[in-house]
Protein backbone atom coordinates (compact mmCIF):
# COMPACT_ATOMS: atom_id res chain seq x y z
CA UNK A 1 0.00 0.00 0.00
CA UNK A 2 1.33 3.40 -1.01
CA UNK A 3 0.54 6.72 0.65
CA UNK A 4 0.29 8.28 -2.78
CA UNK A 5 0.30 6.99 -6.33
CA UNK A 6 1.31 9.54 -8.94
CA UNK A 7 0.15 8.78 -12.46
CA UNK A 8 2.40 10.47 -14.99
CA UNK A 9 6.03 11.60 -15.01
CA UNK A 10 6.27 14.98 -16.69
CA UNK A 11 7.32 18.06 -14.71
CA UNK A 12 4.14 17.96 -12.59
CA UNK A 13 4.29 14.27 -11.67
CA UNK A 14 8.01 14.34 -10.90
CA UNK A 15 7.78 17.54 -8.83
CA UNK A 16 4.92 15.98 -6.87
CA UNK A 17 7.10 12.90 -6.35
CA UNK A 18 10.02 14.98 -5.04
CA UNK A 19 7.80 16.84 -2.56
CA UNK A 20 5.96 13.73 -1.39
CA UNK A 21 9.03 11.58 -0.86
CA UNK A 22 10.68 14.39 1.05
CA UNK A 23 7.59 14.45 3.28
CA UNK A 24 8.31 10.78 3.93
CA UNK A 25 5.27 9.51 2.05
CA UNK A 26 5.58 6.12 0.41
CA UNK A 27 5.34 7.21 -3.21
CA UNK A 28 4.81 5.24 -6.41
CA UNK A 29 5.14 6.95 -9.77
CA UNK A 30 3.51 5.10 -12.63
CA UNK A 31 5.46 6.96 -15.23
CA UNK A 32 4.03 5.57 -18.47
CA UNK A 33 5.84 3.86 -21.33
CA UNK A 34 6.73 7.27 -22.73
CA UNK A 35 7.99 8.59 -19.40
CA UNK A 36 9.05 12.19 -19.04
CA UNK A 37 6.14 13.71 -20.93
CA UNK A 38 6.18 16.28 -23.69
CA UNK A 39 9.63 17.65 -22.88
CA UNK A 40 11.14 14.35 -24.01
CA UNK A 41 10.16 15.37 -27.53
CA UNK A 42 11.88 18.76 -27.45
CA UNK A 43 15.40 20.08 -27.78
CA UNK A 44 16.60 23.12 -25.85
CA UNK A 45 14.31 24.47 -23.12
CA UNK A 46 15.23 28.12 -22.68
CA UNK A 47 12.53 29.35 -20.31
CA UNK A 48 12.94 27.03 -17.34
CA UNK A 49 14.45 29.18 -14.57
CA UNK A 50 17.84 28.14 -13.27
CA UNK A 51 19.42 27.21 -16.58
CA UNK A 52 20.89 30.42 -18.01
CA UNK A 53 22.21 28.63 -21.10
CA UNK A 54 19.06 26.53 -21.53
CA UNK A 55 18.86 22.79 -20.99
CA UNK A 56 17.86 19.92 -23.27
CA UNK A 57 14.27 18.87 -22.46
CA UNK A 58 15.16 15.18 -22.07
CA UNK A 59 18.08 16.06 -19.76
CA UNK A 60 15.83 18.22 -17.61
CA UNK A 61 13.39 15.32 -17.23
CA UNK A 62 16.12 12.79 -16.51
CA UNK A 63 17.42 15.14 -13.77
CA UNK A 64 13.97 15.53 -12.20
CA UNK A 65 13.54 11.78 -12.21
CA UNK A 66 16.93 11.21 -10.58
CA UNK A 67 16.01 13.76 -7.94
CA UNK A 68 12.76 11.95 -7.15
CA UNK A 69 14.52 8.58 -7.10
CA UNK A 70 17.15 9.92 -4.74
CA UNK A 71 14.46 10.58 -2.14
CA UNK A 72 12.97 7.13 -2.57
CA UNK A 73 10.20 7.36 -5.17
CA UNK A 74 9.48 4.02 -6.90
CA UNK A 75 8.92 4.07 -10.66
CA UNK A 76 7.01 1.80 -13.00
CA UNK A 77 7.60 2.64 -16.67
CA UNK A 78 4.30 1.35 -17.92
CA UNK A 79 0.88 2.76 -18.73
CA UNK A 80 -2.02 2.81 -16.30
CA UNK A 81 -4.98 0.94 -17.75
CA UNK A 82 -7.61 1.96 -15.18
CA UNK A 83 -8.25 3.68 -11.89
CA UNK A 84 -10.90 2.36 -9.51
CA UNK A 85 -11.99 5.50 -7.67
CA UNK A 86 -15.12 3.94 -6.19
CA UNK A 87 -13.62 2.96 -2.84
CA UNK A 88 -10.54 3.55 -0.71
CA UNK A 89 -7.78 2.58 -0.92
CA UNK A 90 -7.83 3.51 -4.62
CA UNK A 91 -6.83 0.76 -7.00
CA UNK A 92 -4.64 1.61 -9.97
CA UNK A 93 -4.31 -1.10 -12.62
CA UNK A 94 -1.35 -1.56 -14.93
CA UNK A 95 -2.33 -4.49 -17.13
CA UNK A 96 -3.15 -7.28 -14.68
CA UNK A 97 -1.17 -5.76 -11.81
CA UNK A 98 -3.03 -3.70 -9.22
CA UNK A 99 -1.46 -1.07 -6.96
CA UNK A 100 -3.24 0.40 -3.94
CA UNK A 101 -2.87 3.97 -2.80
CA UNK A 102 -4.39 6.00 0.02
CA UNK A 103 -4.34 8.95 -2.35
CA UNK A 104 -3.74 9.56 -6.04
CA UNK A 105 -2.35 12.46 -8.08
CA UNK A 106 -3.35 12.40 -11.73
CA UNK A 107 -0.57 14.05 -13.75
CA UNK A 108 -0.98 12.38 -17.12
CA UNK A 109 -0.49 15.53 -19.15
CA UNK A 110 -1.57 15.89 -22.74
CA UNK A 111 -0.79 14.25 -26.07
CA UNK A 112 -0.45 15.53 -29.61
CA UNK A 113 -3.66 16.54 -31.27
CA UNK A 114 -3.72 15.31 -34.87
CA UNK A 115 -5.42 17.09 -37.76
CA UNK A 116 -7.94 14.30 -38.28
CA UNK A 117 -7.99 14.66 -42.04
CA UNK A 118 -8.10 11.81 -44.57
CA UNK A 119 -4.71 10.22 -45.24
CA UNK A 120 -3.10 11.39 -42.02
CA UNK A 121 -3.29 8.48 -39.56
CA UNK A 122 -1.97 5.81 -41.92
CA UNK A 123 1.03 7.96 -42.80
CA UNK A 124 2.27 8.58 -39.27
CA UNK A 125 5.88 7.41 -39.45
CA UNK A 126 5.74 7.67 -43.23
CA UNK A 127 6.08 11.40 -43.51
CA UNK A 128 3.55 12.52 -40.92
CA UNK A 129 5.11 13.30 -37.55
CA UNK A 130 4.62 15.31 -34.38
CA UNK A 131 8.23 15.31 -33.28
CA UNK A 132 10.70 17.37 -35.30
CA UNK A 133 13.61 16.73 -32.92
CA UNK A 134 13.03 12.97 -33.42
CA UNK A 135 12.51 12.89 -37.14
CA UNK A 136 13.99 16.05 -38.69
CA UNK A 137 17.16 14.28 -39.85
CA UNK A 138 15.11 12.11 -42.21
CA UNK A 139 14.06 15.21 -44.09
CA UNK A 140 17.51 16.43 -45.04
CA UNK A 141 17.22 18.37 -48.34
CA UNK A 142 13.49 17.69 -48.49
CA UNK A 143 10.47 19.97 -48.36
CA UNK A 144 8.25 19.93 -45.30
CA UNK A 145 5.16 21.56 -43.85
CA UNK A 146 4.65 22.46 -40.20
CA UNK A 147 1.07 23.05 -39.08
CA UNK A 148 0.31 25.31 -36.14
CA UNK A 149 0.75 28.79 -34.67
CA UNK A 150 1.99 28.32 -31.12
CA UNK A 151 5.43 27.96 -29.56
CA UNK A 152 5.70 24.28 -30.36
CA UNK A 153 4.98 24.90 -34.07
CA UNK A 154 7.70 27.59 -34.07
CA UNK A 155 10.17 25.17 -32.50
CA UNK A 156 9.33 22.41 -34.95
CA UNK A 157 9.81 24.78 -37.91
CA UNK A 158 13.10 26.06 -36.50
CA UNK A 159 14.47 22.55 -35.88
CA UNK A 160 13.40 21.37 -39.34
CA UNK A 161 15.00 24.36 -41.06
CA UNK A 162 18.40 22.97 -40.05
CA UNK A 163 17.81 19.90 -42.23
CA UNK A 164 15.09 20.50 -44.80
CA UNK A 165 15.62 22.57 -47.93
CA UNK A 166 12.36 24.43 -47.31
CA UNK A 167 9.83 24.70 -44.50
CA UNK A 168 6.28 25.91 -45.06
CA UNK A 169 4.57 26.92 -41.87
CA UNK A 170 0.83 26.61 -42.31
CA UNK A 171 -1.47 28.43 -39.92
CA UNK A 172 -5.24 28.76 -39.99
CA UNK A 173 -5.20 32.36 -38.75
CA UNK A 174 -3.28 35.43 -39.95
CA UNK A 175 -1.27 35.91 -36.76
CA UNK A 176 0.58 33.55 -34.42
CA UNK A 177 -0.14 33.09 -30.75
CA UNK A 178 3.46 32.01 -30.14
CA UNK A 179 5.73 34.11 -27.92
CA UNK A 180 7.45 37.08 -29.60
CA UNK A 181 10.92 35.57 -29.37
CA UNK A 182 9.85 32.33 -31.06
CA UNK A 183 7.92 34.19 -33.79
CA UNK A 184 10.94 36.32 -34.50
CA UNK A 185 13.13 33.26 -34.85
CA UNK A 186 10.76 31.84 -37.46
CA UNK A 187 10.12 35.07 -39.39
CA UNK A 188 13.84 35.75 -39.67
CA UNK A 189 14.69 32.23 -40.78
CA UNK A 190 15.88 32.06 -44.38
CA UNK A 191 14.15 28.75 -45.09
CA UNK A 192 10.71 29.29 -43.56
CA UNK A 193 7.74 30.61 -45.54
CA UNK A 194 4.58 31.21 -43.52
CA UNK A 195 1.31 30.52 -45.31
CA UNK A 196 -1.53 32.26 -43.46
CA UNK A 197 -5.26 31.44 -43.33
CA UNK A 198 -4.68 27.90 -44.48
CA UNK A 199 -5.63 24.41 -43.37
CA UNK A 200 -4.72 20.95 -44.61
CA UNK A 201 -7.71 19.09 -46.03
CA UNK A 202 -6.10 15.84 -47.08
CA UNK A 203 -2.75 14.08 -47.02
CA UNK A 204 -2.05 12.32 -50.29
CA UNK A 205 0.44 9.67 -51.30
CA UNK A 206 0.69 5.98 -51.96
CA UNK A 207 3.11 4.51 -49.41
CA UNK A 208 4.30 7.78 -47.93
CA UNK A 209 3.44 11.46 -47.93
CA UNK A 210 3.74 12.85 -51.45
CA UNK A 211 1.22 15.65 -51.73
CA UNK A 212 -1.07 17.72 -49.61
CA UNK A 213 -4.42 19.33 -50.31
CA UNK A 214 -4.88 22.74 -48.72
CA UNK A 215 -7.72 25.21 -48.33
CA UNK A 216 -6.73 28.86 -48.01
CA UNK A 217 -8.98 31.77 -47.17
CA UNK A 218 -8.63 35.51 -47.71
CA UNK A 219 -6.78 35.04 -50.97
CA UNK A 220 -6.30 37.94 -53.36
CA UNK A 221 -6.70 37.31 -57.05
CA UNK A 222 -5.66 33.63 -56.66
CA UNK A 223 -2.68 34.59 -54.57
CA UNK A 224 -1.99 33.39 -51.03
CA UNK A 225 -1.17 35.53 -48.03
CA UNK A 226 2.31 34.61 -46.92
CA UNK A 227 5.34 35.78 -45.03
CA UNK A 228 8.43 35.18 -47.14
CA UNK A 229 11.70 34.20 -45.49
CA UNK A 230 13.33 37.15 -43.71
CA UNK A 231 10.81 39.59 -45.22
CA UNK A 232 9.74 42.74 -43.38
CA UNK A 233 6.00 42.23 -43.71
CA UNK A 234 3.46 39.99 -45.40
CA UNK A 235 3.32 39.34 -49.13
CA UNK A 236 1.13 37.70 -51.71
CA UNK A 237 2.38 34.59 -53.47
CA UNK A 238 0.85 32.56 -56.26
CA UNK A 239 0.23 28.85 -55.75
CA UNK A 240 2.55 28.13 -58.69
CA UNK A 241 5.43 29.88 -56.93
CA UNK A 242 5.06 27.26 -54.20
CA UNK A 243 5.16 24.51 -56.87
CA UNK A 244 1.46 23.90 -56.32
CA UNK A 245 -1.60 23.94 -58.52
CA UNK A 246 -5.12 25.26 -57.98
CA UNK A 247 -7.94 22.73 -57.72
CA UNK A 248 -10.90 24.99 -57.00
CA UNK A 249 -11.54 28.67 -56.70
CA UNK A 250 -14.39 30.32 -54.85
CA UNK A 251 -14.12 34.05 -54.37
CA UNK A 252 -11.52 34.59 -51.68
CA UNK A 253 -11.12 30.89 -51.10
CA UNK A 254 -8.68 28.57 -52.85
CA UNK A 255 -8.38 24.83 -52.80
CA UNK A 256 -4.96 23.78 -53.99
CA UNK A 257 -2.34 21.09 -53.69
CA UNK A 258 1.41 20.90 -53.62
CA UNK A 259 4.03 18.16 -53.52
CA UNK A 260 5.59 17.71 -50.06
CA UNK A 261 7.79 15.15 -48.29
CA UNK A 262 6.84 15.61 -44.68
CA UNK A 263 4.10 17.08 -42.48
CA UNK A 264 4.76 18.01 -38.86
CA UNK A 265 1.65 18.59 -36.78
CA UNK A 266 1.85 21.03 -33.86
CA UNK A 267 -1.68 22.33 -33.38
CA UNK A 268 -1.96 21.61 -29.70
CA UNK A 269 -2.50 18.87 -27.19
CA UNK A 270 -5.37 16.84 -25.81
CA UNK A 271 -5.58 16.11 -22.08
CA UNK A 272 -5.03 12.44 -21.22
CA UNK A 273 -8.10 11.95 -19.06
CA UNK A 274 -10.07 9.30 -20.96
CA UNK A 275 -9.13 6.30 -18.83
CA UNK A 276 -10.29 7.88 -15.58
CA UNK A 277 -13.88 6.78 -15.06
CA UNK A 278 -15.81 8.80 -12.53
CA UNK A 279 -13.44 11.77 -12.54
CA UNK A 280 -15.16 14.94 -13.72
CA UNK A 281 -13.77 16.78 -16.73
CA UNK A 282 -14.86 19.81 -18.73
CA UNK A 283 -16.17 19.43 -22.28
CA UNK A 284 -12.63 19.42 -23.70
CA UNK A 285 -11.48 16.64 -21.37
CA UNK A 286 -9.51 18.72 -18.86
CA UNK A 287 -9.96 17.33 -15.35
CA UNK A 288 -11.87 19.73 -13.12
CA UNK A 289 -10.51 20.65 -9.73
CA UNK A 290 -11.45 22.83 -6.80
CA UNK A 291 -9.10 25.31 -5.19
CA UNK A 292 -7.11 22.58 -3.45
CA UNK A 293 -6.40 20.77 -6.70
CA UNK A 294 -8.87 18.14 -5.51
CA UNK A 295 -11.01 16.37 -8.09
CA UNK A 296 -14.63 15.45 -7.51
CA UNK A 297 -13.42 12.27 -5.76
CA UNK A 298 -12.04 12.96 -2.30
CA UNK A 299 -8.41 11.79 -2.07
CA UNK A 300 -7.73 12.12 -5.79
CA UNK A 301 -5.83 15.22 -6.84
CA UNK A 302 -4.72 16.59 -10.19
CA UNK A 303 -1.70 18.50 -11.53
CA UNK A 304 -0.20 19.71 -14.80
CA UNK A 305 -1.49 19.79 -18.36
CA UNK A 306 -4.31 17.30 -17.79
CA UNK A 307 -5.86 20.06 -15.66
CA UNK A 308 -4.26 23.28 -16.93
CA UNK A 309 -5.84 24.57 -20.13
CA UNK A 310 -4.34 28.02 -19.72
CA UNK A 311 -0.56 28.13 -19.26
CA UNK A 312 0.81 24.71 -20.29
CA UNK A 313 4.41 25.47 -19.39
CA UNK A 314 7.01 23.18 -17.87
CA UNK A 315 7.40 25.53 -14.92
CA UNK A 316 3.66 25.91 -14.26
CA UNK A 317 3.25 22.13 -14.49
CA UNK A 318 6.01 21.76 -11.90
CA UNK A 319 4.25 24.36 -9.75
CA UNK A 320 0.95 22.51 -9.95
CA UNK A 321 2.77 19.30 -9.04
CA UNK A 322 4.18 20.93 -5.93
CA UNK A 323 0.77 22.33 -4.94
CA UNK A 324 -0.98 18.98 -5.43
CA UNK A 325 1.71 17.23 -3.37
CA UNK A 326 1.26 19.68 -0.49
CA UNK A 327 -2.53 19.24 -0.65
CA UNK A 328 -2.08 15.45 -0.54
CA UNK A 329 0.07 15.80 2.56
CA UNK A 330 -2.53 18.01 4.23
CA UNK A 331 -5.37 15.67 3.31
CA UNK A 332 -3.55 12.53 4.50
CA UNK A 333 -2.89 14.22 7.88
CA UNK A 334 -6.58 15.01 8.19
CA UNK A 335 -7.46 11.36 7.65
CA UNK A 336 -5.40 10.16 10.63
CA UNK B 1 20.84 -11.62 -29.14
CA UNK B 2 19.94 -7.94 -28.75
CA UNK B 3 23.60 -7.01 -29.07
CA UNK B 4 23.52 -7.93 -32.75
CA UNK B 5 24.65 -4.80 -34.59
CA UNK B 6 23.21 -4.54 -38.07
CA UNK B 7 24.84 -2.53 -40.85
CA UNK B 8 24.29 -1.84 -44.54
CA UNK B 9 26.94 -4.51 -45.12
CA UNK B 10 25.60 -7.38 -43.02
CA UNK B 11 21.87 -6.65 -43.39
CA UNK B 12 21.29 -9.12 -46.20
CA UNK B 13 23.12 -11.96 -44.51
CA UNK B 14 21.81 -11.39 -40.98
CA UNK B 15 18.25 -10.28 -41.74
CA UNK B 16 17.09 -11.01 -45.27
CA UNK B 17 18.68 -14.48 -45.46
CA UNK B 18 17.85 -15.41 -41.88
CA UNK B 19 15.92 -18.66 -41.33
CA UNK B 20 14.34 -17.30 -38.15
CA UNK B 21 12.24 -14.12 -38.11
CA UNK B 22 14.19 -10.98 -37.23
CA UNK B 23 13.15 -7.93 -35.20
CA UNK B 24 15.13 -4.85 -36.27
CA UNK B 25 15.29 -1.75 -34.07
CA UNK B 26 16.00 1.34 -36.21
CA UNK B 27 17.50 3.95 -33.91
CA UNK B 28 19.90 6.89 -33.57
CA UNK B 29 22.01 8.45 -30.86
CA UNK B 30 20.02 11.72 -30.79
CA UNK B 31 16.59 10.10 -30.57
CA UNK B 32 15.19 10.22 -27.03
CA UNK B 33 12.24 7.87 -27.56
CA UNK B 34 14.79 5.37 -28.94
CA UNK B 35 16.48 5.30 -25.55
CA UNK B 36 13.11 4.42 -24.00
CA UNK B 37 12.51 1.61 -26.45
CA UNK B 38 16.02 0.16 -26.32
CA UNK B 39 15.69 -1.67 -22.94
CA UNK B 40 12.26 -2.97 -24.02
CA UNK B 41 13.86 -4.44 -27.15
CA UNK B 42 16.46 -6.15 -24.99
CA UNK B 43 13.68 -7.62 -22.85
CA UNK B 44 11.90 -8.84 -25.96
CA UNK B 45 15.10 -10.55 -27.12
CA UNK B 46 15.26 -12.43 -23.82
CA UNK B 47 11.56 -13.34 -23.86
CA UNK B 48 11.52 -14.69 -27.41
CA UNK B 49 14.86 -16.51 -27.18
CA UNK B 50 15.48 -18.77 -30.16
CA UNK B 51 12.18 -17.89 -31.82
CA UNK B 52 13.21 -14.38 -32.81
CA UNK B 53 16.52 -12.86 -33.81
CA UNK B 54 16.85 -9.28 -32.56
CA UNK B 55 19.20 -6.64 -33.92
CA UNK B 56 19.77 -2.89 -33.87
CA UNK B 57 20.48 -0.66 -36.83
CA UNK B 58 21.85 2.86 -36.39
CA UNK B 59 20.13 4.94 -39.08
CA UNK B 60 22.85 7.61 -39.15
CA UNK B 61 25.56 5.12 -39.95
CA UNK B 62 23.45 2.91 -42.20
CA UNK B 63 21.35 5.34 -44.17
CA UNK B 64 21.07 3.08 -47.17
CA UNK B 65 19.15 0.34 -45.36
CA UNK B 66 17.01 2.83 -43.43
CA UNK B 67 16.11 4.60 -46.63
CA UNK B 68 15.29 1.47 -48.57
CA UNK B 69 12.67 0.60 -45.95
CA UNK B 70 11.27 4.14 -45.97
CA UNK B 71 12.15 4.83 -42.33
CA UNK B 72 11.03 8.39 -41.56
CA UNK B 73 10.37 8.16 -37.83
CA UNK B 74 12.37 6.48 -35.17
CA UNK B 75 12.20 4.38 -33.16
CA UNK B 76 10.79 2.02 -35.77
CA UNK B 77 10.70 -1.70 -35.08
CA UNK B 78 10.35 -3.92 -38.15
CA UNK B 79 9.78 -7.66 -38.20
CA UNK B 80 11.30 -9.51 -41.17
CA UNK B 81 10.24 -12.99 -42.19
CA UNK B 82 11.83 -14.72 -45.18
CA UNK B 83 13.35 -11.44 -46.27
CA UNK B 84 10.05 -9.56 -46.21
CA UNK B 85 8.75 -6.88 -43.83
CA UNK B 86 5.72 -8.39 -42.12
CA UNK B 87 5.26 -5.78 -39.40
CA UNK B 88 6.22 -2.17 -38.80
CA UNK B 89 5.81 -0.50 -35.39
CA UNK B 90 6.51 3.22 -34.99
CA UNK B 91 7.20 5.10 -31.77
CA UNK B 92 7.56 4.15 -28.13
CA UNK B 93 4.95 1.65 -26.99
CA UNK B 94 4.52 -0.70 -24.08
CA UNK B 95 6.23 -4.08 -24.13
CA UNK B 96 2.83 -5.77 -24.15
CA UNK B 97 1.83 -3.82 -27.25
CA UNK B 98 5.01 -4.81 -29.06
CA UNK B 99 4.48 -8.43 -28.03
CA UNK B 100 0.95 -8.48 -29.33
CA UNK B 101 2.07 -7.06 -32.67
CA UNK B 102 5.01 -9.46 -32.96
CA UNK B 103 2.92 -12.48 -31.96
CA UNK B 104 0.44 -11.67 -34.69
CA UNK B 105 3.06 -12.35 -37.38
CA UNK B 106 5.28 -15.05 -35.85
Query: Under an 8 A CB cutoff, do B36 and A207 touch?
Result: no
Query: What residues contact A318, with CB distance under 8 A and at least 6 apart?
Result: A11, A12, A14, A15
Share of chain A above pLDDT 90, in %: 86
| Least confident among A124-133, A221-230, A304-313 | A124-133
Calculate the average pLDDT of chain A: 95
Query: Cβ-count burial of A211 within 10 angstroms (0-12 exposed, 13-18 middle, 19+ buried)?
Result: middle
Q: How confident is the model at residue A243 (pLDDT cuts 50, 70, 90)?
A: very high
Is A308 labeled as catalytic in the residue annotation?
no
Share of chain B above pLDDT 90, in %: 71
| Contacts with B32 from chain A: Cβ below 8 Å | 36, 40-41, 58, 133-134
| pLDDT 10s digits, A51-71 | 999 998 888 999 999 999 999
Mean pLDDT of A114-140: 91
Is B99 in the A-facing interface, judged by CB distances under 8 Å? no
Is B34 labeled as catalytic in the residue annotation?
yes
d(Cα A167, Cα A108) in Å, to the nearest integer? Answer: 32
pLDDT of residue B16: 97
Interface test with A, best of B62, B69, B73 (most A CBs within 10 A): B73
Query: Under an 8 A CB cutoff, do B70 and A207 touch?
Result: yes
| Contacts with A208 from chain B: Cβ below 8 Å | 70, 72
Is B31 a residue whose pLDDT tops 90? Answer: no
Which of these is catalytic: A78, A79, A131, A174? A131
Query: Under an 8 A CB cutoff, do A33 and B31 touch?
Result: no
pLDDT of residue B32: 78
Strand partners, A168: A145, A193
Is B29 a residue whose pLDDT tops 90? Answer: no
Rounded to 5 degrees, φ, ψ at A324 are -60, -40
Minimal Cα–Cα distance from A327 to chain B, Å?
A: 32
- Domains of chain B (ranges; CATH) run 4-103 (3.40.30.10)
| Contacts with A36 from chain B: Cβ below 8 Å | 32
Is B90 a residue whose pLDDT tops 70? Answer: yes
Q: CB-CB: which of A41, A79, A137 is closest to B94?
A: A79
Query: Under an 8 A CB cutoff, do A138 and B60 touch?
Result: no
| pLDDT 10s digits, A74-111 | 999 889 999 999 999 999 999 899 999 999 999 999 98
| Contacts with A127 from chain B: Cβ below 8 Å | 72
| pLDDT 10s digits, B50-78 | 999 999 999 999 999 999 998 988 999 99
Share of chain B above pLDDT 70, in %: 98
Is B1 a residue whose pLDDT tops 60? Answer: no
Name every residue in A having a CB less than 8 A away from some CB of B.
Answer: 33-36, 40-41, 58, 77-79, 95, 124-127, 129, 131, 133-135, 137-139, 207-208, 262
Neighbours of A170 (CB within 10 A): 24
d(Cα A274, Cα A269) in Å, to the nearest integer? Answer: 14
Rounded to 5 degrees, φ, ψ at A112 are -50, 135
- Domains of chain A (ranges; CATH) run 2-111+270-335 (3.50.50.60), 121-265 (3.50.50.60)
Query: Under an 8 A CB cutoff, do A33 and B60 touch?
Result: no
pLDDT: is A293 or B73 the higher one? A293
Q: CB-CB: which of B28, B32, B97 is closest to A40?
A: B32
Mean pLDDT of A10-35: 96
pLDDT: is A47 or A43 the higher one? A47
pLDDT of residue B2: 57
| Least confident among A37-41, A117-121, A203-207, A223-227 | A37-41
Write down the ipTM of this complex. Answer: 0.72
Secondary structure letter of residue A113 according to DSSP: P
Mean pLDDT of A281-302: 96
Strand partners, B53: B22
Query: Under an 8 A CB cutoff, do A125 and B90 touch?
Result: yes
Mean pLDDT of A242-265: 96
pLDDT: is B31 or A249 the higher one? A249
| pLDDT 10s digits, A143-178 | 999 999 999 999 999 999 999 999 999 999 999 999
| Exposure string for A276-288, b = 16+ CB within 10 A, e = fewer | beebebeeeebbe
Is B105 a residue whose pLDDT tops 90? Answer: yes
d(Cα B103, Cα A71) in Å, to the nearest integer? Answer: 39
Is A322 labeled as catalytic in the residue annotation?
no
Closest C-alpha to A117, from A205, A24, A176, A21? A205
Whether A222 contacts A195, CB under 8 Å: no
Amino acid sequence: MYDVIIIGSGPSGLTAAIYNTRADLKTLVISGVKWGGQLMLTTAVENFPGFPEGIQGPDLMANMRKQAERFGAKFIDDDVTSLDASSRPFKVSVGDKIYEGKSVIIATGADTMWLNVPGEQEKIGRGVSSCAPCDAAFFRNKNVIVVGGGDSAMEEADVLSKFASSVRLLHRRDTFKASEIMQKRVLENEKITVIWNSEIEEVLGDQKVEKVKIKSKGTDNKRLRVHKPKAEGNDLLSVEELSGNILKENGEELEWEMPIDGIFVAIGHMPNSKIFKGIETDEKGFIKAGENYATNVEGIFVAGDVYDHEYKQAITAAGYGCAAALEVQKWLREQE
Amino acid sequence: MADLVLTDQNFKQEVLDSKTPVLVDFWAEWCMPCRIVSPIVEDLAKDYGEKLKVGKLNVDENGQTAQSYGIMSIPSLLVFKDGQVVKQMVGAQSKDNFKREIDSVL
